[in-house]
Structure 1
Amino acid sequence: MPFLKEAIFEKRLLDLEKKGYVRIDESGVFLLKEQSETSYFKSPDWKGFSMQDLPHHFFNHLLLAVQVVSNKHHKKSQYLPIVRNKEAQIWVKRWFSKWQNDAHLAEKLFLELNQWLESPSILYQDVYVGRFSGGDRVGETALQICERLQISIWDGYFEWLRGLHVLHLRSNEFPLLQELMISKVALLTKSGFATYDLFQKGHSLEQIVNIRQLKKSTIEDHFVEIQATFQELAVPFRPNEEVLLKLKEKSFLSLKEMKEFMPDLSYFELRLAAVSGVEI
């Protein structure tokens, strides 16, 4: 995943190993204990893998947009941005420049937020509204909200995330909020995007290796990243639908098990299958 840092990923794996859930050796990571799947991931609205960080970027934009619009309404011109991320600030500044002369902007934003948050799929409105700042109000932290609602931080987080997934899936119903959403292309790493751009221009994997003067394995990593981000896209060497269906009929604990089941496929092809919906 482009936004998952290697050090954090390795720490999480070591934590799981200490608790006896996985075994790690030179061959890979092996699941030792089957865990019951949380109800969050059974919802048809849950698109965690393909969504990646889209909801997180959007919510940063939303926090800033609410603050800017609210402070304009309250005629408050000096304040500290609730989100310190410079890219998010620049994004919302550009967005607001388009709308700043619209006298009904606050009302339009309120109506769309109300339509979204009043939908049956939203269990806790406060995990969103409680974070908003504007005027004399300073938003609470996620932890403060969960403590007030008397729910665990993880229950609060997954409800927050699921609601954002619902919003993204229904984005056409919310034209103003949709403007605060980023495209999936923005989720790619800088190097991954360079490979994606060449692929979109019609270059093959081998041509991209030559053009970019990188190892073939590095370009393969990029295509796995691209496939994970754009699951509807058929990248080079992605197994055909018949093979994918056969793989999806089984559940695998590792790429090694997939290789034993489909020995004719390369590890690159198996990795592409794994990010195309095959359970592993």
Structure 2
Amino acid sequence: MNLSSILLTIINKLDGERTIYAGFHLLRGKRSGQTLQDVEYYGLKPFFGLLPKLRIVTFDEAANRLIELGYIATSDDSLVTVTEKGRLELSILPSYRFYGWDYRGREMIFYGRLTLTVQTMSNIRAGKKSFMPIQKDMNIQTFVKKLLYELPIKNPLFSRQVGEELTIGIIRSEMSDLQKVIFTHRLAGYGLSGWTWDQLAESLKLNPFTIRLMFIESLHMLLTVIESSTDLQLLQKMAADIKVSSYLTESSTKTKRLFDQGMSIEEIATARQLKVSTIEDHFVEMSINNTDFPLQMFVSEEETIAVIAKMNELGTKRLRLLKDEFKSLTYFQLRLILGARTGEGA
């Protein structure tokens, strides 16, 4: 697993309909109308917000490697496609178990809570009431203090519960043996600090960035197990508010609230002092994420059926090509149709 292989998977899903930098915005979790549409249109939820702090230079290195290997090619209009050689490489790549759409980098907050809890328990068992916390984030420190305040942290049986829950969660998550090593070596305890990425890289003979990706995937796998398990109560408390509760952006939520009150797009734009095009972006986001979005307020069922049929016939979701086929429909209407019939509203 490396950034280049993940990028190759993303480019393959984009199917020659976007530039390579669509992948950059996707991995960083950019909440623009275009990126949010791409997530739904092309089935890219696993990779959204996977690397919120990804640097453009790191991304370019991964992209250039794909070009050098002959796995991707760029057209005259800068659209990127996977070559035949690239498709052969894709056929041997393992499947990924990322859930970026649900966690968007917040899995690191969960791990911060977990490692500080483990460190605290370890020091208490060793008779140390004062120690230097491995986590400097004050929000994480405050969360763990509140979590442990009313729990029997001095009871050896409680320490055993923490260990048992974590062991059960790791087993159920089906992490690879390598991921288990990375996961556990990052934890801190009494007299022990978690291994750095470079230390792990040197020991495992792997690229530090590859190790980070494997670590993120293992956290996603564990979090999905915690969410669905009834016997991992302490871990569930640590995972509180980690999964995204609303897939709408904050601004789109405000627009939806006004729309639900009966206001038109133009009235909402005036009330919020925003451009109509911005409000339309919010409506597209609503059509993607809300199963009860009233699509037929904007376009007829017959037009919707015709657009979806043409999209399937042409094998494309490119708006410009669909607009050529449906000149009577606006780009906004086409975006709503694609959003409602290819997203969560489908």
TM-score normalised by the chain length of structure 1: 0.69
Q: What are the equivalent positions in structure 2 for 1:77-226 lying under 5 Å apart?
A: 77-99=129-151, 103=155, 104-119=157-172, 121-123=174-176, 124=178, 125-170=180-225, 171-173=227-229, 174-181=232-239, 182-185=242-245, 192-193=249-250, 195-196=252-253, 199=256, 202-203=260-261, 206=265, 208-221=268-281
Offset at residue 226 of structure 1 (A): 7.1
- Does the 8 Å CA contact 2:311/2:317 hold for their aligned counterparts? no
Letter in 1 for 2:206: I
Contact 2:319 2:331 in 1 (8 A): no
Distance 1:249 1:82 in 2: 56
Distance in 2 between residues matched to 1:5 and 1:48, nearest whole Å: 9
**What runs of 5+ residues in structure 2 fail to find an aligned partner?**
1-28, 32-48
Q: In 2, Cα distance between the equivalents of 1:276 and 1:69?
A: 44
Number of residue pairs matched by the alignment? 268
Which amino acid in the other structure matches residue 235 of structure 2? L
Q: In the superposition, relative to structure 1, how do residues 260 and 175 fare at CA in structure 2: closer, same or farther (>3 Å)?
A: farther
Compared with structure 1, are the counterparts of its residues 6 and 66 closer, same or farther at alpha carbon in structure 2 (3 Å cutoff)? closer
Q: What SS is found at the alignment partner of 1:167? A: helix
Distance between the aligned counterparts of 1:18 and 1:87, measured in 2?
39
Q: Answer whether contact 1:17 1:23 (CA < 8 A) is retained.
A: no
**Measured at CA, do residues 77 and 5 of structure 1 come closer, stay the same or move farther in structure 2, by a change above 3 Å?**
same
Shift of 1:31: 0.8
Cα offset for 1:108? Answer: 1.5
Per-residue Cα deviation, 1:60-118 (whole angstroms, up to 9, x for no partner) = 22222222222222232322322222322222222222425573332221111111223
Residue deviations 1:137-182 (CA, integer Å, cap 9, x gap): 1110123223312333344233322222222222232222121222
Alpha-carbon shift at residue 127 of structure 1 (Å): 1.1
Identity of matched residues, %: 20
Root mean square deviation of aligned Cα: 4.5
Alpha-carbon separation, structure 2, partners of 1:217 and 1:77: 57
Match of 2:45 in 1: none
